[in-house]
Structure formats: structure tokens, C-alpha cells
Amino acid sequence: MLITALLAVITLTTTRQVLLADRDAVAEVLVFANASRVQRTLPGDLEPGSVTGILEGLNSAAGSRQLIAIDGNPFSRDGQFVLEQVPVSLRTLTIEGSAVRIRTSLDDQPFIVYGIPLQGFEDVIYFEALPLTEAEDTLNTLSFVLLGGGLIVAALAALAGRSVATNALSPLRDVSNAAEAIASGRLDTRLDPEGDEDLESLVASFNEMAGGLEERIQRDARFASEVSHELRSPLMTLTASVEVLENAKHEMPERSQTALELLASDISRFRTLVEDLLEISRFDVGTASLQADPLLYAEFVRAAVPFATSEDIPIVVEPDAEDAIVVAEKRRLARVVANLIDNAAKYGGGATRVHVSKTRDSVLMAVEDNGPGVPHDERFVIFDRFSRGGAGGRRGYDTGVGLGLSLVAEHVNLHGGRVWVEDRHDGEPGARFVVELPLDDGEDGEFA
């Protein structure tokens, strides 16, 4: 558009100069011829009637106006051209004896006005005004043409530029989309090697990098899974040994009983950690799958909460959520409920309510507690692995290992839902963990 505008301005300026120069050249010949004729035919006595007759006999262009000023007294042919319409600067210069021309407006119309002192006469000046309307109309028409043509050219250039830029940047957009896919966990994403020839080296390097990254992550995931499996055998032995010791606990001294309690607590935490790591490793290596069935969600929550805890936690189900059906795996959803209630017990002073509600295309389950709540800057990282938020520095018998909420997020994502934490809606202190799952649309689907 800048180039088009610049070309239009140059074209308009050049055309204006040429048109006005041509008009000036033609007008100058006509005006000086008329001034010469007036000078030859003007009588010595300068009678008004004879002066008017001379003006009527001059050659005149369409719309031109003539005026003779004799000692400051104006004489015009039709009375439309008066001395006051002549610019003062032009009158001043002509009085000094110079022939002058100037562009000005008369009756809101563009004119070129000439002032020529007549030789042989004292204080006699011939004025003639020639219209520039035709030239201005031509310039206005040209302006509209240039404006319209410039807009069309700019639009066509923009479309062509967009098309060229889209084609040129399409391979880079593919690279960006592939990088985002890998970052979101789709490690098998690759670029098409048959794409742009100029980017073959980049595509090959990107695919090689993605392949190496996938292999490394899978190897690390397999390592974690194999280590977790190997830990199960000695862990079972330790658990059985602790059970034997606990059966004889009453025969031990008080210090030995305390040590046994600490050992049993740590082995319990260790067993939970190994089980969670095994579950996490299944997600990492891509072997996690759903054995999904339609569930009446409200009834499932009513059964899962008492199974997860011995506390009497109120369960509130909105009337429109009573018949809500989701397609899910009972074991995984039960683990979600248990982990959220366990998290509330450890860090939120215990769950105070489980609330089930329904939206247009999803069902929500919220677990509320009366703890200190979760700060805004921790509401996303709290679902990361081994993250326990502000409680991370507190270790005790009943603290977790930081995988419970991470597993909740993994299980919910596997069901096509999402989980987040927010403040309680009743204004009371505490956190509200919300799980959103899609409603069953009545169509069979595959889960992987």
C-alpha cells in the first residue's frame, strides 16, 4: 500500500504540473494577445464606452473574465469581474510595472489571474482571469481513478503476498505444530520428509531429534517400570516381616515398639510409592488403557466415597445430575475419588462435602475441604509429579509422596476430562478440587 500510495502521489503531482503548465502556456498566449490588442486600440481619451467596447471585441476563452483598471477605476465587460477580486499582491506588483500571474479562487472556483501593465499608458492595467475548472475536474477524476486502482492493486498485492507467505511459511508451521504435539506428549509425531525440498535438512534433523527424544523417554519409562517391579519382591518380604514383628509387638520394649511403628509407617509409604510409580510408568510407556463401561455417575460416587474413607462425608447430588451417565472404568474413577479424599485428609483438614452437578455436556464432581486452601501460584504445579505444594516441606506419618494428585490428573485425562482446584463457592476457607468428565453421548467409542 505504501508503494501504491507513493506511485499515486507521484503520478497525480506530475500530471497536475503538466496540465497546469499546458494551461498556463495556452492562457499566456491568449492573455498577452488580448493585452496587446487593448494597448493598440485603447483611445487616448479613455472614454468608458469605448473601453467597454474594446473588452467586448477581445478573444475570450469559455468562462474567462476581463478587466481594465484605469487610475484605479475598473471597467469590465459584464460586471462579474471586479477589482476587489484580484489578489492584493498581484495588484501591487502590476502597479510597480511587472506582468504577474497567480492562481486563486473566484466565487469558489479555481482561476489563473494575469495582470499586465499597458505600455504607453500611465496607471492602466489589463487583468484577465481564466478558469481552471476543466483542469481541476481532470485532476479530481484522475485522483478517484488512482485511489480506486490503488486500492484494487493493494488488495490484489495483499492476497498475492498472503498466498506466497502462506506457501512459504507452511513448512515452518508444520514444524511448529509438530513441536507442540511432541511437547504435549505425542512423541511419535514426525514431519513429512517429502515436503519442501529446501527444508529437507531441517526435516531430517527434526525427525532424528524427535526419534531420539522418544527413545530416551521410553527407555527412562521402562527403567522406572522395571525398577518398580523389582522392588515389589523385597517390599513384600519386608511387609511380611513387619507383620510378624507386629504380632509380637507386646513382648518388645517401648523403644523397640516405637521403632517398629516408624518402620511399619515407612514401609507403608514405600509400598504406596511403588504402586504409584508402577501406575505412572504405564502412562509413560503408553500401555495404560481403559476398560470402560457406562456408569450412573451419582450412584458410583455414593458408593466410592464410603469405600475410600470411614469418615461420614456428606454427598450432595444436584437433581439434574441424578441420571448423568459417563463411560468410564470403575477402578480408575474409584482411585480418583480415593486420592482426592486422601489428599483432603492429609492437607485440608479432611473432606467436608462431595458435590456432584451437571452442565450441558459434562458432569462435575467437587471434593471440598476446610483447610488453608491452595495458593493461586500452586494451582497448576500441584498436579505435577512429586509436588505437594506448600506442604512439601512437612514430613509426617500421614503425608503423601506427591503422586496422588498427579495420578488423579492422569486418570481423568485418560477419560477425556480435566481436573482443577479452586476456592470454595460458599466463601468459607478451604480448597475445592473439581473433576469434569464428558457425558455419555450414546455412541460407542474407543479408549486407549
Strand partners, 362: 438
**Is position 90 within any domain?**
yes
Can you read off the three cell numbers belonging to residue 205? Answer: 534433523
Whether 350 and 365 have beta carbons less than 8 Å apart is answered as: no
Question: Domain range holding 404?
Answer: 293-438
Q: What is the pLDDT of residue 448?
A: 37
Task: List the pLDDT tens digit at each of the 448 positions of the chain.
Answer: 788 778 878 887 887 777 777 777 777 778 788 778 877 777 665 665 667 667 766 777 777 787 787 777 777 776 677 777 888 888 888 877 778 888 887 877 888 888 888 877 777 888 888 887 777 777 778 888 878 887 888 888 888 888 888 777 777 778 888 888 877 667 778 887 776 666 778 788 888 888 888 777 777 667 666 666 677 678 788 888 888 888 888 888 888 888 888 888 788 777 776 676 666 666 655 555 667 889 999 999 999 999 888 888 999 999 999 999 999 989 889 989 999 999 898 888 889 999 999 998 999 999 999 888 888 888 888 888 777 665 544 444 455 567 788 889 888 988 889 999 999 988 888 999 999 999 987 544 444 3
**H or E stretch covering 185:** none
The residues, any chain, with a CB within 8 Å of residue 125's CB and separated by 6 or more, are 68, 69, 91, 94, 95, 115, 116, 117, 118
For CA atoms 317, 320, 323, 329, give the dihedral sign. Answer: negative
Residue 274 and residue 301 in one domain: no
Q: At 108, is the secondary structure helix, strand, or coil?
A: coil
CATH number at residue 222: 1.10.287.130
Q: Which of 334, 337, 340 minimizes the C-alpha distance to 291? A: 334
444 found inside a domain: no
Q: How many domains does the chain have?
A: 3
Give yes or no: residues 136 and 10 share one domain. Answer: yes
Distance between CA atoms of residues 70 and 44, nearest Å: 12
Residue 431: in which H helix or E strand, if any?
Answer: strand 431-438
The candidate with the shortest Cα–Cα distance to 339, out of 373, 379, 375, 307, is 307
CATH code of the domain containing 112? 3.30.450.20
Residue 196 C-alpha from the chain's centroid: 28
Q: 255 with 375, same domain? A: no
DSSP result, 355-382: EEEE-SSEEEEEEEE-SS---GGGTTGG
Please compute Rg for the chain using Cα positions.
48
Q: Decide if 26 is inside a domain.
A: yes
pLDDT on residue 259: 86
State residue 93's pLDDT score.
Answer: 82
pLDDT at 445: 42
Pairwise CA distance, residues 54 & 328, whole Å: 109
Q: Using CA atoms, how far apart are residues 426 and 134, in angstroms rounded to an integer? A: 79
Co-location of 355 and 276 in the same domain: no
| 132 grid coordinates | 481552471
Q: Which cell goes with 56?
A: 467586448
Does the residue 272 lie in any domain?
Answer: yes
Q: Give domain status of residue 187, yes or no.
A: no
Q: Is the pTM of this model over 0.75?
A: no
| φ and ψ of 426, to 5 deg | -90, 5
Q: Are residues 430 and 301 in the same domain?
A: yes
Of 105, 140, 175, which closes a domain? Answer: 140
Residue where a domain terminates, one of 265, 284, 303:
284
Sheet holding 351-358, edge to edge: 315-317, 351-358, 362-369, 431-438, 418-423
Give the three-class secondary structure for 162. Answer: helix
Report whether 364 contacts 358 (CB < 8 A).
yes
In terms of domains, do 313 and 275 share one?
Answer: no
| Among candidate residues 277, 279, 288, the one with its CA nearest the CA of residue 401 | 277
Question: Does 413 reside within a domain?
Answer: yes
Which cell is 164 given? 506466497
Assigned domain for 445 exists: no
CB 313 within 8 A of CB 353: yes
Q: Residue 417's pLDDT is what? A: 92
280 and 308 housed in the same domain? no
- Any domain includes 393: yes
**What's the CATH code of the domain at 376?**
3.30.565.10
Euclidean distance between CA atoms 250 and 256, whole angstroms: 10
Name 4's Cβ contacts closer than 8 Å, sequence gap at least 6. 150, 153, 154, 157
**In this structure, are 247 and 320 located in the same domain?**
no
Give CA–CA dist 116/36, Å, rounded.
Answer: 10
C-alpha to C-alpha distance for 104 and 112, rounded to whole angstroms: 6
Q: Are residues 136 and 246 in the same domain?
A: no
Within this chain, do residues 334 and 400 fall inside the same structural domain, yes or no? yes
- What cell numbers appear for 328 in the block? 468410564
Residue with grid cell 497525480, as numbered in its chain = 12
* In a shared domain, residues 308 and 258: no
Q: Which of 227, 261, 284 is the C-terminal boundary of a domain?
A: 284
Amino acid at 334: A
Residues 348 and 323 in one domain: yes
| Rounded Cα–Cα distance for residues 69 and 65 (Å) | 13
